[in-house]
Chains A and B, each alone.
Chain A
Amino acid sequence: MASELIRIRAMVWKDLTAERRTKANFNAVAFLAGAILLLFGFALGPDAAALEAAAGGMIWLTVLFSGVLSFNRSYEKELEGGALEALLLYPGDRRSIYLGKLIANFAFVLLVEAILLPAAAVLYDLPLHTMVLPLAGVLLLGTFGFVTLGTFYAAMASRLRAREVLLPLLLFPMLIPLLVACVEATQAIIDQDAMGFAGSWMKLLVVFDVVFFVAAYFAFDYVIEA
């Protein structure tokens, strides 16, 4: 068990360090997120009320569209130099690879959101700073589910020719309950609705996260094999 913790920590450290040193991926994703936010603004028109009513949706769609890019990339480093095979040969539970990558991806997407949220607050004139705590709750739960499934499906998609198309194709339909819950909860918080709504959606998120974390964790072993 202790050895698995060592493995997971090593995996997280490796992914985050490699990422920090290239920065190419993070910068690209962060810029893309900003661009998408802008595009949404233009698509919906300059009416402040309309933007505020759609803010939850715009924010989460931006997270999904920009975040999805990071998942395939997290496996690319493994595919380049034969590192995946080295990973598969180490003694120990292969699911620790999944946990390590999941944690690293989680940190990555949270970091993107840390930039995205203030940008959205500015572009759409949202007083997000007054609702940090509940928003943080939704963000953490939603991002966790997103990253759980993204890391899982990318283990397959990244090894196929059509990876850019296959990952969104497999991932997005599965994320619909998560998207609905996150958008509704976020919008409820922004609109200062009865907390009851946001709370109930967050319960759904917890269920989603738990169910798919367990399912993906157990299925990963079957999927990562060469």
Chain B
Amino acid sequence: MPHSMLGVSLAPPRWVRILGWFALLFLAVSQVTGFMISAPDRDMGTLQKIMYVHVPAAWTAFLAFTYVFGTSVAYLWKRDLKYDLLAAAAAETGVVLTGLTLALGSIWGRPTWGVWWTWDPRLTTTAILFMIFAGYLALRSFVEDDEQRARWSAAVGILGFINVPIVYFSVQWWRTIHQVQSTPATVDPLYKLGLRLNAFAFLFLMIFFIALRYHAARLERAAEARREEDALTEGTIHV
């Protein structure tokens, strides 16, 4: 395997590569299973199958942001930049997953209810979560100093995550006051199996993406560390 001179192998660690293939395979199997084993939904037909992506994406996004919270706390405690890189990788993954959730939710909602957006509590909370962590990523892009960026991101990540239950509760209550509409739920037990399978598939995918992104960040950091060292040792004392 090609090694850079940076002390970090250019290729991702073996477990990551294996996980990637496994996750892809698992996803394929789960999706196919989901399509085949449960009958088209009574009310929504084949469109319901979109739930096999939409719901797992939402769940894993939430997991990713929980991970951001954990690594942010770890950074402030240990001050090891590794935690900041992990947090950023997880945040990026989470933002992509929330974006996917929102897009799919919208696509599902259009034929179902005739509108592109429904203010459904979970969907709305997801949208807010998307904005909060998009802001997290935007902040990072403006701070140049590593250490300051890590500290500030950690603070923003922690506060942002704390808000999730509050947001969810307030949106849910707000909706109950103003509308009576409820999301039709599918009761088919086979549907639940498909959902669970896909949930795991997405979990593996999420871990893979975070690990891959973290690896890329480590490579960047190693390259920079090398440049740092070179710049530090060059130059002699002239008097």
Direct contact of A and B (CB under 8 A): yes
Residues of A at under 8 Å CB distance from B? 149, 152-153, 156, 160-162, 166, 169-170, 172-174, 176-177, 180-181, 184, 197, 204, 207-208, 211-212, 215-216, 219, 222-223, 225
Chain B residues within 8 Å of chain A by Cβ, number: 29
CA distance A156 to B142 in the complex (A): 11
Contact A174 B160, CB 8 Å, known A166-B138, A180-B170, A181-B170: yes
Interface set, chain B 147-196, CB cutoff 8 A to A: 148, 151-152, 154-156, 158-160, 162-163, 166-167, 169-171, 173-174, 177
Distance (whole angstroms) from the CB of A204 to the closest CB of chain B: 6
- At the interface, is chain B mostly helix, strand, loop or mixed? helix
Residues of B at under 8 Å CB distance from A? 76, 128, 131-132, 134-135, 138-139, 142-143, 148, 151-152, 154-156, 158-160, 162-163, 166-167, 169-171, 173-174, 177
CB-based contact A222/B139 at 8 Å: no
Closest to B151 in A: A222
CB-based contact A177/B142 at 8 Å: no
Contact A219 B158, CB 8 Å, known A180-B174, A184-B174: yes
Which B residues are CB-close (under 8 A) to A204?
A: 166, 169-170, 173
Q: Can you list 25 pairs linking A and B with CB atoms under 8 Å apart?
A: A149-B159, A152-B159, A153-B156, A160-B143, A162-B142, A166-B135, A166-B139, A169-B134, A170-B135, A173-B128, A176-B170, A176-B171, A177-B170, A180-B174, A204-B166, A204-B173, A208-B166, A212-B159, A212-B162, A215-B162, A216-B159, A219-B159, A222-B154, A225-B148, A225-B151
From A160, A172, A177, contact of B166 by CB (8 A): A177
CA distance A166 to B166 in the complex (A): 23
CB-based contact B152/A173 at 8 Å: no
Contact A176 B128, CB 8 Å, known A184-B174, A208-B166: yes
Closest to A149 in B: B159
CB-based contact B166/A170 at 8 Å: no
From B159, B167, B169, contact of A215 by CB (8 A): B159
Which B residues are CB-close (under 8 A) to A184?
A: 174, 177
Which B residues are CB-close (under 8 A) to A212?
A: 159, 162-163
CB-based contact B143/A211 at 8 Å: no
From B138, B167, B173, contact of A176 by CB (8 A): B167
CA distance A161 to B166 in the complex (A): 31
Distance (whole angstroms) from the CB of A147 to the closest CB of chain B: 15
CA distance A16 to B154 in the complex (A): 31
Which A residues are CB-close (under 8 A) to B159?
A: 149, 152, 174, 212, 215-216, 219
Which A residues are CB-close (under 8 A) to B152?
A: 156, 222-223
Which B residues are CB-close (under 8 A) to A173?
A: 128, 131-132, 135
CA distance A222 to B76 in the complex (A): 8
Distance (whole angstroms) from the CB of A73 to the closest CB of chain B: 19
From B128, B166, B174, contact of A211 by CB (8 A): B166
Task: Select the residue from B135, B160, B162 with max chain A CB neighbours within 10 A.
Answer: B135
Distance (whole angstroms) from the CB of A58 to the closest CB of chain B: 17
Closest to B163 in A: A174
CB-based contact A219/B166 at 8 Å: no
